[in-house]
Structure 1
Amino acid sequence: FNLQKNTVLVSKTNQFLVEDLMARGGYGCVVKCRKVETEERVAIKLVKRSQYDSGVNEMKIFKTLRQFKGGNTNIVKFLEHFEHNNHFCLAFEMLDINLYEFIRCRYFFPLDVNEIRVLAQQLLVALKVLKELRVTHRDIKCDNIMLVDRVSQPLRVKLIDFGLSTRTYSMRNYVFKQPLSYRSPDVILDFPLDEAIDMWGLGCVLAFLYLGRHLFPSRAEYETLSVMVKLLGKPHDTLLTFGLSTGRFFKCVKGEFTYTWLLKTTEEYYNDSGEVVVLRPGVHSDLSCLDDLQKKRPEPKNPLEKRDLLSFIDLLKKMLDMNPSRRIAPLKALNHEFITMAHLSADSSSSYVIASQTKMIKVNEEEPEVENSTSAGPSLPQESLDSTPHVDGNKDSAKKTAEQKQ
């Protein structure tokens, strides 16, 4: 659909003047709007009619997130929902740019390890909240992580886009699958799913920030899986036995009393599937395991930086475990030495440690509460979450009001 600039969107409690198109995708579009009454800028997601159920699902997920009564969640603040011309609309706080755009603005120059830590800690807090509420995001990727404000709050981020999220206890392998560069082996092989797929996605995000490129290729599932097996090893044979799609990629080799699964060669895969796969070179080509990631950076002159890098790689290996039951959980990851900086505590006077601590302290300063936020609990108007979406039925009156305000 084509939403014109200066269109007025009307909810039960607010009128929003459309100022600019921010993003467009298969779900619909996101527009930058100004609240007519307060001049506050907000982002409004208009969901296509064909994706209406996705919009309703996202609203319900935010209703669940409202149950969290802790501190900052590092999740985008949801304000309200309504309808415009039969399109489901969700209003959110205005944020800056996503992580992929941020790295692209740097010409894909990677972040320093102590900068990655700052982002990792915030996103692990978000995953911890989701796990506590038994919600799985299902689409963790750089595009769905937004910087709050590059100028005033550098490295502060929030998780967005819950249109594909679900309650963990009701999750199954849906037709939609996240982009291959972030897709977990659990999804590719049709294992029983849980929130561990979000931790895998976050691991892929952190690897991207370290490399400035995606660790796993995004052209074909076989190619992606083959790189995973090369760098991480294959899932346990017992787990592979329960994968509904294991036989598509692996062959079972039986012994007298045992059996094992082996990844098919490209020729075997072609003979069985008819799909031609070309294993192209990539950032993974000169890696044999994740420990080799340290070769992607010049040797640190400061031994503390080397220690920090090795600690980061150790956490990354735990996030990218091929066996989902062994994949690190958010709380345990938050207590990993890379996040707590315990491995650097003996050298607190070092300039590198001081700079690293300063980055963490600055971004973790308490964020002021925003009215109508999901983290604010009872201050969120009940109708914003629980009522039937408001249908915009008086556009002419709304437009006239907006013009008077101008």
Structure 2
Amino acid sequence: MCMFLYKVETFIGEGKVAKCKKLGTDQVVAIKIIWGSGQMEINALQGFSQIDADDHNLVKFMESFKYKKYTCIAFEALDQSLLHFMEKRDFHPLTVDEIRTITWQLIVALKGLKSINLVHCDIKLDNIMLVDQGSEPFRVKLIDFGLAEKIGHMRTGAPIQNICYRAPEVILGLPLDQRVDLWTVGRLVEDDLHCLDKTKLKELEQLVDLLKRMLMEDPSKRISPSEALHHPFFTMGRVQPTAGRWRDYIFRLARSQPELLVFGE
């Protein structure tokens, strides 16, 4: 099956995403196939042109096109979802350093989205992708912006977010903004990325304190992404560099905001 310049190699998951190769090249991409226009998601993705998606841990949008009655959206190909990774290890707890690395990246992603007035509205383990677990351990990116909304355009009472991670203001029908995403990341870390590393009690205490601030029921009292990145869980711990661009990204942060990163003991 060919879609213009792409040849489908295999379908992923429920068949809504295809792993494709661009004809005449060795470039492999992921193509999301949507019935209908998919215009809301395309609009959200086009907003990434205002920031560096890679630096903000957001999936790279390449192009969109029509195929018969479907809309096809091409993205960079990534490794596997965090859900798939956790399922393969039977949800065995992560280390505190692994949790720190993932949480840091997700909060950086939220900071980037806030800068372009965008709210994801559907963060969950299967919408967080490991870039390449072999070469860049626990380097993650946020994907699937099908429910994304502009801040200020969010409708009270809208059925957004997975029910397991739904913010109180969504449930109660209160005014909504970007703080719903921070709540979701907090619940996801608390519920799904367990840590039983009893050798690092101080760091676990810092993690618990960060989660308490992310999970304030009153959104006006909830910590912001910028504030969260200055929390002791990050500033007193270690956000571990890995290979490739994630390593380069961490080093750039170390130069521009050295107070946020501490490497070594």
Secondary structure of the residue aligned to 1:360 is coil
Q: 1:70 to 1:82 in 2, by over 3 A?
A: closer
Structure 1 gap segments, 5+ residues each: 1-6, 212-295, 345-356, 368-406
Task: Give the count of matched residue pairs.
Answer: 247
Where do residues 5-404 of structure 1 align in structure 2 (5 Å cutoff)? 7-10=1-4, 15-24=5-14, 29-49=16-36, 52=37, 55-68=38-51, 72-173=55-156, 175-211=158-194, 297=196, 300=198, 302=199, 305-341=200-236, 357=238, 360-362=240-242, 364-366=246-248
Q: 1:69 to 1:104 in 2, by over 3 A?
A: closer
SS at match of 2:59: coil
Alignment check: 8 A CA contact 1:111 1:209 kept: no
Letter in 1 for 2:8: V
Given that 1:319 and 1:327 are in contact with CA atoms closer than 8 Å, whether structure 2 keeps it comes out as yes
Please say if residues 157 and 174 of structure 2, whose CA atoms lie closer than 8 Å, have aligned partners that are also in contact: no
In structure 1, what is the Cα distance between the partners aligned to 2:112 and 2:88?
A: 30
Q: How far 1:309 moved relative to its partner?
A: 0.4
- Structure 1 CA distance for aligned equivalents of residues 7 and 233 of structure 2: 45
RMSD (Å), alpha carbons: 1.8
d(CA) in 1 for partners of 2:82, 2:54: 23
Q: Once the two structures are aligned, what percentage of the paired residues are identical? A: 40
SS of residue matched to 2:240: helix
Give the number of the structure whose alpha-carbon radius of gyration is greater. 1
Provide closer, same or farther for how the CA distance between residues 116 and 69 of structure 1 changes in structure 2, counting only shifts above 3 A. Answer: closer
> How far does residue 361 in structure 1 lie from its aligned partner after superposition?
2.2
The code of the aligned residue for 1:73 comes to: H
Residue 196 of structure 2 aligns to which amino acid in structure 1? Answer: R
SS in 1 for 2:208: helix
> What corresponds to 1:273 in structure 2?
none
Q: For the residues of structure 1 that align with 2:26 and 2:242, how far apart are their CA atoms?
A: 28
What displacement does 1:320 show? 0.7
1:30 Cα shift?
Answer: 0.4
Q: CA deviation at 1:142?
A: 0.9
Which amino acid is the alignment partner of residue 306 of structure 1?
A: L
Is the 1:112–1:210 contact (alpha carbons within 8 Å) kept by the matching residues of 2?
A: no
Partner SS for 2:220: helix
AA partner of residue 30 (structure 2): A
Work out the CA distance in 1 between the residues paired with 2:70 and 2:204: 47
Q: Aligned in 2, Cα 1:19/1:129: closer, same or farther, shift over 3 Å?
A: same
- Give the whole-Å Cα distance in 2 for the aligned partners of 1:123 and 1:149: 16
Q: How far did residue 82 of structure 1 move?
A: 0.2
Compare the two structures and name the one with the higher helix fraction. 1
Post-superposition offset of 1:174: 5.4
> Contact 1:22–1:31 at 8 Å: present in 2 too?
yes
Q: Distance in 1 between matches of 2:73 and 2:193?
A: 33
Deviations 1:270-325 (A, max 9, x none): xxxxxxxxxxxxxxxxxxxxxxxxxx837x2x4xx110000000001111110111
Q: 2:157–2:170: 8 Å Cα contact kept in structure 1? A: no
Q: What is the letter of the counterpart of residue 180 of structure 1?
A: I
**Kept after mapping to 1: 8 A contact 2:158/2:170:** no
Question: Could you say which structure has the greater relative contact order, defined with CA pairs below 8 angstroms and 6 or more residues apart?
Answer: 1
1:143 shift after superposition: 1.1
SS in 1 for 2:51: coil
Shift of 1:71: 6.8
